[in-house]
Structure 1
Amino acid sequence: MTAPPPPFSGLHHVSALTARAERGHAFYTRVLGLRLVKRTVNQDDPRMYHLFYADGAGSPGTEVTFFDFPRAAREHRGVNSVTRTTLRVTGPEALTFWADRLTRGGVPHGGPVPRDGRLHLDFEDPDGTLLSLIDDGGEGPRGVVNPLTDVPAAFQPQGLGYSGFTVADLAPTRALFERGLNLREVRTYPTGEFTTHVFRMGEGGPHADLHVTGRDDLPRHRPGAGGVHHVALRVRDEAELRGWLAHLEEAGYPNSGPVDRHYFQSVYVRDPNGLVIELATDGPGFTTDEHLETLGERLALPPLLEPRRAEIEARLRPLVLERA
């Protein structure tokens, strides 16, 4: 048997579907204070924009990304899906700030509520993506300050927290997480009358856990706007990614093989419940084709697509995004 690869260092990014990219851009930059760090296309379907929001430097572990599909109907919520995306802030004062800011922005939200030992502020984005700001207590990596927002540096999101999944049958997801991804179940907590299981990457923390709730009372979800397509986990470099690829194949999990996304290298695996998990390297990063100061200001295309720029730009709909 091959030696197990090093554990993941946390979440890398979360990718969702939007029906109105302009509205989403206003929300994530003007309300949540994130920075648009890459304006590109879906490499598998370049007729579709792919927008990346993150901290001030586009750091791995801070990215929320969106595929733009203007005709998409809303997601039909249900099991076998990602049902919570969290962003980390630090301290109860930050949650008070955000409750006031969301209220002033006309964004409905719950009050700070304890869940799994941390305070959560629950709300939705304009497409209906389920979000929470959580108090990380100062744990986890610190995001780079975004100078382009009016959100005070002390209250800016520090990066992704955990992702929450809801499944009809816990067993195959547990098998993938434990055998395929080398995660450990470390605790459970009640979610209403059901139980949520927490799976840990490495030493864990609010940025390095996956929460899975088993429920038998919901229909199967149908993809659409507001739904999360996949969650990506952080791998340090291509050597580690090759190690994970060998491990997945040895464990008997079909996968995509290596995929060059230009800004990072990836491998995708799907569990029997239909959940898509991506393994993504930290580099080379978003400054490989743009300067840090001007990230996200122009349409960036990977080298594979650059020769088709005129064709791709002609087929893309006009996208007018106001500066934050």
Structure 2
Amino acid sequence: MTNNQLLGIHHVTAITDDAERNYKFFTEVLGMRLVKKTVNQDDIYTYHTFFADDVGSPGTDMTFFDFPNVPKGVSGTNSISRPSFRVPDDNALAYYEQRFNDFGVKHDGIQTLFDKKVLPFEEADGQVYQLVSDENNSGVAPGKPWAEGPVPADKAIYGLGPIEITVSYFDEFKQILEGLYGMVTINEDENVALLNVGEGGNGGQVILRHDQESDSAKQGYGEVHHVSFRVKDHDAIESWLQKYQNQHIGNSGLVDRFYFEALYARIGHILIEVSTDGPGFMGDEPYETLGEGLSLPPFLEEQRDYIESQIRPFDTSRHHE
């Protein structure tokens, strides 16, 4: 029997209004590596950028759709409300707090959430995030810090942390996360719960918040588009498709994204993707120059000249020698 268990968080995708500013923030301030600069496969006139660890390990990438003319999103309930990133320990949080001060990044200072230290912060477009300390953490293994990044390896971001989801229908949504997706609630307080995915820990957790007071969020730049959870391989994602069909859950069918296989389903207001761990981001570019050129999946390669003539260029090269 196929093991179709979710292994943890695969990636989180948000919307930016400026791919170039976003690139500089993620590489120069956060110290994450751009491992793939490609186009949105459903809208080839816009970029899709992937920021991850040193080798683009699954569970480490924050990705962005670049929709230059999209209106600003409106935060609220019934949304994926805050992605997070893992750092090795509490000292790394203190390092980033000072780094944010040096770069003028808006942040809320180091806080405690579910007995772990966190540092909430905000990008220029209003997208909110937080860093979470791996001190005393166990569960899903982290990735590898960017070897040539601007942040020392013992302080650097090396994976995605818990994904925060806020809904007005808390009990119903929690039941779906537990019953359909196999998540396990390990901590619950008034209006918030912490659920483990797979091996759990910071790389496999959902923070579910209850908010019946706010208006529903509206998609736009500065808001999250979807979250994806990891499965091992094609057989595992095929069994998820069967599960959705058996339970009459509307879905996209299997989609080959070249870098991984994907399956999408909207659960209430939340777009949830299931993605395979492979093939990954190392197959079409050398390690040394990941993300420096425009990468296209094979089915778009024949349109390269046209795509490059239409898409607004921006320089992501780091090797000028």
TM-score of the pair, normalised by structure 1: 0.94
Superposition deviation, residue 174 in structure 1: 2.4
Q: Distance in 2 between matches of 1:230 and 1:115?
A: 23
Partner of 1:239: 235
Structure 2 partner of 1:304: 299
Question: Counterpart of 1:156?
Answer: 156
The equivalent residue for 2:15 is 17
Stretch of structure 1 that moved more, 43-52 or 69-78: 69-78
Q: Is the 8 A contact 2:292 2:316 kept in 1?
A: no
Matched, 1:221 2:217: yes
The match for 1:294 is: 289
- Whole-angstrom distance in 2 between the partners of 1:214 and 1:323: 43
Name structure 1 gaps, 5 residues minimum: none
* Matched residue, 1:275: 270
One-letter code aligned to 2:127: T
The count of residues paired between Structure 1 and Structure 2 equals 317
Deviates more, 1:133-142 or 1:208-217: 133-142
CA distance in 1, matches of 2:98, 2:143: 22
1:185 aligns with 185
Partner of residue 70, structure 1? 68
Alignment partners' CA distance in 2, 1:94 and 1:306: 41
TM-superposed deviation, 1:237? 0.7
Q: How does 1:75-224 map to 2 (within 5 A)?
A: 75-137=73-135, 138-139=137-138, 140-190=140-190, 195-224=191-220
Query: How far apart are residue 181 of structure 1 and its match?
Result: 1.3
Q: 1:4: Cα distance to partner?
A: 7.7
| Contact 1:5/1:244 (8 A) holds in 2 | no
1:149: how far off?
1.5
Deviations 1:274-307 (A, max 9, x none): 2001101111011121111111011111111111
Residue-by-residue CA offset, 1:25-71 (whole Å, 9 max, x unaligned): 11100000001100100001111100000111111111000111112
* Cα contact 2:253–2:264 (8 A) shared by 1: yes
Query: What is aligned with 2:56?
Result: 58
SS of residue in 2 equivalent to 1:243: helix
The one-letter code sitting in structure 1 at the alignment partner of 2:284 is D
State the TM-score, normalizing by the size of structure 2: 0.94
RMSD of aligned alpha carbons: 1.6
| 1:39 maps onto 2:34 in alignment | no
Unaligned runs of 5+ in 2: none
For the residues of structure 1 that align with 2:317 and 2:125, how far apart are their CA atoms?
18
Query: What is the identity percentage for the equivalent residue pairs of Structure 1 and Structure 2?
Result: 38
Q: Quick one: distance in 2 between partners of 1:184 and 1:4?
A: 21
Once residues 93 and 145 of structure 1 are traced to their aligned partners in structure 2, the CA distance between those partners, rounded to angstroms, is 16
Q: Deviations over 1:104-138 (max 9, x none)?
A: 01112122111111111010112211110111225
**Whole-Å Cα distance in 1 between the matches of residues 194 and 120 of structure 2?**
19
